[in-house]
Structure 1
């Protein structure tokens, strides 16, 4: 089981105005990666945010890339409900991002029938007032027999909570998310490969060691050599050759 969450600064999670969830999400993402505070007002200018909000998730990927030094890409999820492949793609990108210290910025559409529901004892955020159009940050994951996403939410209490990845991507449906262009660490795959590779090698090495060490070390010999190991067989051959030479 792996649970990973990025640092969240409780003092800056909340957005400063009702329309600055985009800048607040970028601010939280910058803090999560670098523990730097960039003023929300500055980010609002960079994003072109107005009283009508921030126009597109694509603006967030550009500003995140500028501040964090790693290109961010936008993935649109145009269909609702999303496909299983779209959910898996998001999950893989989230894990790769968090493993490398980055969050994933998300643009949500949350109708009353699909307000975020907390899981694992996490309280549900206090969404209300009809359909909510909102930016949030995916800042962690829990893959312990399920797939849960840790959310830093600038607009609603509590400011952090867990939801399922399936609901998370269904909230993105109709909009998109911005993720860093980083590779998965591949740690699990590497470990599995090494174990699978080392096992046979270890067996071969033990065979060689047994033959080199000789029967005196407690290793079995070869039937072709009368129960002798390779070393013992060579020793006997040497002794026999000496006797013949005499």
Structure 2
């Protein structure tokens, strides 16, 4: 009976805290009915052992309750740490739900465009640089004389030095300095031809003429032959077929002031020279 009582008390001591009160009552009842046997089997009185056992059980209960209290704060703190994450995500959700609808896509350039310009033939045999620059500027509504531009370009009877000069003067006249110089030291590559096409389309779309420094011979789309062994400056004032063909304003001959030429032929015509676009 003694061992049976101890096993029951040990089992009850391991129960959850809210069952301890019932376990204590049961232990007291068992101790009362078995007092005589416990007295004969052990030196200490049964009541004393029972009180000691109950005290131990109460200590276990107190410890268990303490563990429960210690665990409670960690459980309650979990929602606190999760709250900022939810609030941090809300601005991103708002950004997705409120896109910027004010931005408009860049319009596609037209397949064909020719600028309105005021053609003027060169007034001296060496003034092709100033004349081409003047014709290109007229497309942007800028009126300058060949003499004024010749002074800015540094043009002499030997002509105008390079496309670097036409770029410099064009940027001095056009707001925003949009022009850049492209040089073809040798025969242009396919990439350089594509670059020329893109540059012409962009400049013409923006309302700006292009100035090119050419040398040698070229044939236009109508079969016309144009030869400038010592070099020449021309203005590009339009394009068609998405820039595969360009419109030339040529100051050399007022009887043949403009013509169409493929962009590939123009690129080859620029070989060893450059252009301003």
Please, what TM-score do these two structures have when normalized by structure 1? Answer: 0.64
Structure 1, residues 177-202: CA drift from partner, whole Å, max 9, x if none? 111xxxxxxxxxxxxxxxxxxxxxxx
Structure 1, residues 138-175: CA drift from partner, whole Å, max 9, x if none? 1111116x810100111134111000000000011101
SS at match of 2:139: helix
Unmatched runs of 5 consecutive residues or more in structure 1 = 180-246
* Conserved? CA contact 1:8–1:152, under 8 Å: no
Q: Does 1:58 align with 2:164?
A: yes
Distance 1:176 1:6 in 2: 22
Aligned to 1:6: 115
Aligned to 2:266: 168
Shift in CA distance, 124/132, structure 1 to aligned 2, threshold 3 Å: farther
Structure 1, residues 98-135: CA drift from partner, whole Å, max 9, x if none? 0000111100011xxxx22221xx4625x35x724100
Q: Does 1:69 align with 2:169?
A: no
- Give the C-alpha shift of residue 70 in structure 1: 3.0
Relative contact order higher in (CA < 8 Å, ≥ 6 apart): 1
Aligned to 1:21: 128
SS at match of 2:144: coil
Aligned to 2:248: 151
Aligned to 1:116: 218
Aligned pairs, number: 166
Q: Name whichever structure is richer in helix by fraction.
A: 2
* Cα RMSD, aligned residues only: 1.7
For residues 196-215 of structure 1, the aligned pairs below 5 Å read none
The one of 79, 99, 108 aligned to 2:186: 79
| Runs of 4+ that moved beyond 6 A | none
For residues 95-110 of structure 1, the aligned pairs below 5 Å read 95-110=201-216
Structure 1, residues 41-66: CA drift from partner, whole Å, max 9, x if none? 01100111000000111111011011
Unmatched runs of 5 consecutive residues or more in structure 2 = 1-109
* Conserved? CA contact 1:123–1:158, under 8 Å: no
- Give the C-alpha shift of residue 29 in structure 1: 1.0
Aligned to 2:76: none
Distance 2:174 2:133 in 1: 10
